[in-house]
Structure 1
Amino acid sequence: MEKQEPEPKPLVDSNSTPKPNTNTNTSLAAETGMVIPSIPSSLLPQPSWFTAKRGEFDLSNFQDGVISSAFMVGLLVASPIFASLSKSVNPFRLIGVGLTVWTLAVAGCGLSINFWLIATCRMFVGVGEASFISLAAPFIDDNAPVAQKTAWLGIFYMCIPAGIAVGYVYGGLVGDHLNWRWAFWIEAILMLPFAVLGLFMKPLQLKGFSHTGSKKPLTSPLTACPDEAVSNCNHGLLPSQEDSKDGSKCAPSNLNQLTRFWKDMKVLHLEKVYVINVLGYIAYNFVIGAYSYWGPKAGYNIYHMKNADMTFGGITIVCGILGTLAGGLVLDRMNSTISTAFKLLSVATFLGAIFCFAAFCFKNLYVFIALFAIGELLVFATQGPVNYVCLHCVKPSLRPLSMAMSTVSIHIFGDVPSSPLVGVVQDRIDNWRVTALILTSILFIAAGIWFIGIFLHSVDRFDEDSEDRVSDVERANSPPLLEKKSTEPIEVSVES
């Protein structure tokens, strides 16, 4: 009897040792690319078992994985902070600060000489990304035409899979022809003009925010006074020397800021529409995150794919781009309302779950690819609508916090725990097809949660008055924060 050859190890086996001559730059883009994680940061299967700098730093598998995901620490910690700061600092300036931090951190990655330095820089990359997560979508929502708001959001989130696709090619080319460090440096140079513009150009005002506490905008948010403080500040003038002794008359104390933050958090979590929307998003992200991590290995073991990572990655990129854009366009055509958004979310996710579930039931590879592609096209159509709900179910001044806490929630309760939990299930049943079917079935839960949202009483609060509201005229005429300050006393007009 002829002796059978042992089955080769899966392509994505983290315990396998890669060959030195393998193309080692494919994960470079995943580590340099900027991610706005209302979509999972690991959209594309990332070959974390080998990176371009691994040989230079003699990294272990664990260290390599830490570098890839270290940005998540800064991202999750800084997102609520940027959202809270937007109450007292111009949000457009905060985006400029975030881009500056991101640019310096990316340049620092290229200058790193050891594991700890590059891991620290990666954390600060996440801090820079946090400003975009909280503040970019509200700015788009403000400036998009009423009939095209979701389409604009769809285009914005479509840039994530598109950027990842370009990044993989970019990382490979730069790494092959120059050096892995140049991939970071070039990207920092490309981002620098945007950081400068964010800091120095005339800032836009975000709807629902007036960083003056008055009718007329001041030159700096630092001179703004809370309403209760303004009433005690010499009837509109800056505080006298006596008032300034306390140091808290016109500048909100840290305690007041913290109190305001928890008050906003309470309002946010008492909004049933928001809670249902985020719960569905968590279940959705749980599946997508596990797909990105375990998909190639499951595909290899079930269908004996060659280049399983590229197959799953290619499907995810193409479907992510087309599906995200299509979802926004469809919602605009259906009349953009919160109830309609929930209908699209539940139907698209339910149909996508059916196709993805059916894909893993077939043994033929080509049937699997076709069905799985249709399924992912449908499930990625949720990106525009789900963020539309996050922006419109709360009053304008809460939109940054809404986006920040949505991002924190979908990562902490979604894609972060999903990969190890799926690993536990696979260890128990030792059958990749069954494991994939169990994972995919969670999409039906996400669809069911969003289906509940259809029947909730929902109010579009985009035009709702806020205590911090700023008029359109003020938003257009407010001077840049970095404009030369006048030495004359600044008067604040107060409504009687």
Structure 2
Amino acid sequence: MMNIRRGEISDSEVSDINVRDAVHVEGIMAQASDKGSESEGAFGIMNRFSRFSEDMKVLLLDKVYVVNVLGYIAYNFVIGAYSYWGPKAGYNIYHMSDADLLFGGITIVCGIFGTLSGGLILDYMGSSISNAFKLLSGVTFLGAIFCFSAFCFRSLYGFIPLFSVGELLVFATQAPVNYVCLHCVKPSMRPLAMAMSTVSIHIFGDVPSSPLVGVLQDYVNNWRETALILTSILFIAAGIWLIGIFLKSVDKFNEGDENEVSTVEKANMKPLLGGNRNEMIDDPGEA
């Protein structure tokens, strides 16, 4: 009996040792798995950053895209300053009693009809990058002439119609500028192209324009001169977009996406919920 009990104790001790060893091994494997997941996460971040850098390099080397965004920045510089300083300039130059309402009304009406007109005109001309640049340059140049002439008038009744026509023409740029942004890059680059365009026109356009125009006004102390200097930047925008007409451009809107995943790769992808794909197919009732 004593021998049997000693044997039983010995077996239980061996079993306990095996259990402890198994737990220890599982702990080591869990730590290794955690380290592996951390390294995979760091590698994934580096991979995404590398892809972002490569995409940014592609955008910055695309002359059509860069010219389009540069013109858009100059254009937005003026529009941003108009929206901030326009009512104050109108009040000081023409002694408007309701300058905010007048400028706001002109901007809303001309913005709606100008944007729609720009899209319709581009469709009528034939949607292409070259025609879009022609429209951008033409309407911006004409709009700059009307807005510049409006601030030259000393009468409010001469200012309002000229400035309204100028804003109508200037807002016609919205459709063609976005057309170029979407059609000059590959489909996989469109989200980044639009995002960088939006960020650029704000960081370099309407955000610094208001304080810079304020500094200019403090220096010249004449709202008419300040408004004329600001409006003249629209001629620069028109000139930049004019360059785009002569650039070699390729419409990549319908170009195949090189990063598209093939059907074979999709078939070999691991399910999101884990497990073996074949096991899930063989045993659909298991959940």
TMscore range, shorter length: 0.7 to 0.9
CA deviation map 1:135-186 (0-9, x unaligned): xxxxxxxxxxxxxxxxxxxxxxxxxxxxxxxxxxxxxxxxxxxxxxxxxxxx
**Superposition RMSD in Å:** 2.3
Structure 1 residues 361 and 461: alpha-carbon distance in aligned structure 2, compared to 1, 3 A threshold: same
CA distance in 2, matches of 1:419, 1:299: 16
Q: How far 1:252 moved relative to its partner?
A: 5.9
Q: How far 1:453 moved relative to its partner?
A: 0.2
Q: Is the 8 A contact 1:392 1:462 kept in 2?
A: yes
Match of 2:25 in 1: none
Match of 1:420 in 2: 211
Which stretch shows the higher mean deviation, 459-468 or 350-359?
459-468
Q: Is the 8 A contact 1:338 1:393 kept in 2?
A: yes
TM-score w.r.t. structure 1 length?
Answer: 0.46
Q: How far 1:486 moved relative to its partner?
A: 5.9
Structure 1 residues 368 and 339: alpha-carbon distance in aligned structure 2, compared to 1, 3 A threshold: same
Q: Is the 8 A contact 1:352 1:378 kept in 2?
A: yes
Structure 1 residues 356 and 490: alpha-carbon distance in aligned structure 2, compared to 1, 3 A threshold: farther
1:331 aligned to 2:118? no
Structure 1 residues 334 and 244: alpha-carbon distance in aligned structure 2, compared to 1, 3 A threshold: farther
Structure 1 residues 368 and 389: alpha-carbon distance in aligned structure 2, compared to 1, 3 A threshold: same
Runs of 4+ in structure 1 displaced over 3 angstroms? 242-252, 484-488
Match of 1:175 in 2: none
1:270 aligned to 2:57? no
Aligned counterpart in structure 2 of residue 489 of structure 1, from 253, 260, 276: 276
CA deviation map 1:206-256 (0-9, x unaligned): xxxxxxxxxxxxxxxxxxxxxxxxxxxxxxxxxxxx999733669961011
Q: How far 1:466 moved relative to its partner?
A: 2.6
CA distance in 2, matches of 1:250, 1:420: 43
Match of 2:200 in 1: 409
Matches within 5 A, 1:340-419: 340-419=131-210
Aligned counterpart in structure 1 of residue 83 of structure 2, from 281, 288, 292: 292
Matches within 5 A, 1:99-248: 246-247=36-37
Q: How far 1:467 moved relative to its partner?
A: 2.4
| Structure 1 residue identity aligned to 2:167 | E
CA deviation map 1:391-433 (0-9, x unaligned): 1111111111101111111011100111111111111111111
Match of 1:259 in 2: 50
Relative to total residues, which structure has the larger helix share, 1 or 2? Answer: 2
CA distance in 2, matches of 1:447, 1:320: 18
Aligned counterpart in structure 1 of residue 239 of structure 2, from 441, 448, 468: 448
Aligned counterpart in structure 1 of residue 104 of structure 2, from 303, 308, 313: 313
Q: How far 1:330 moved relative to its partner?
A: 0.9
TM-score w.r.t. structure 2 length?
Answer: 0.79
Match of 2:94 in 1: 303
Q: Which runs of 5+ in 1 are unaligned?
A: 1-241, 479-483, 492-496
CA deviation map 1:261-315 (0-9, x unaligned): 1111001100000000000000000000000000000000000001100100000
CA deviation map 1:431-467 (0-9, x unaligned): 1111100000000000000000000000111122332
Match of 1:459 in 2: 250
| Structure 2 residue identity aligned to 1:246 | G
Q: Which runs of 5+ in 2 are unaligned?
A: 1-31, 279-287
Structure 1 residues 428 and 462: alpha-carbon distance in aligned structure 2, compared to 1, 3 A threshold: same
CA deviation map 1:290-348 (0-9, x unaligned): 00000000000000001100100000000000000110111011111101100000000
CA distance in 2, matches of 1:427, 1:485: 61
CA distance in 2, matches of 1:468, 1:412: 30
Greater relative contact order (CA < 8 Å, ≥ 6 in sequence): 2
* Identical-pair percentage: 73
What SS does the aligned partner of 2:181 have?
Answer: helix
Matches within 5 A, 1:48-67: none
**Which of structures 1 and 2 has the bigger CA Rg?**
2
Structure 1 residues 374 and 470: alpha-carbon distance in aligned structure 2, compared to 1, 3 A threshold: farther
Q: Is the 8 A contact 1:243 1:249 kept in 2?
A: no
1:430 aligned to 2:221? yes
Q: How far 1:488 moved relative to its partner?
A: 4.8
Match of 1:120 in 2: none
What SS does the aligned partner of 2:235 have?
Answer: helix
| Structure 1 residue identity aligned to 2:190 | R
CA deviation map 1:63-113 (0-9, x unaligned): xxxxxxxxxxxxxxxxxxxxxxxxxxxxxxxxxxxxxxxxxxxxxxxxxxx
What SS does the aligned partner of 1:253 have?
Answer: helix
CA distance in 2, matches of 1:252, 1:334: 49
What SS does the aligned partner of 1:394 have?
Answer: coil
CA distance in 1, matches of 2:242, 2:40: 48
CA distance in 1, matches of 2:74, 2:195: 18
CA distance in 2, matches of 1:388, 1:244: 47
What SS does the aligned partner of 2:141 have?
Answer: helix
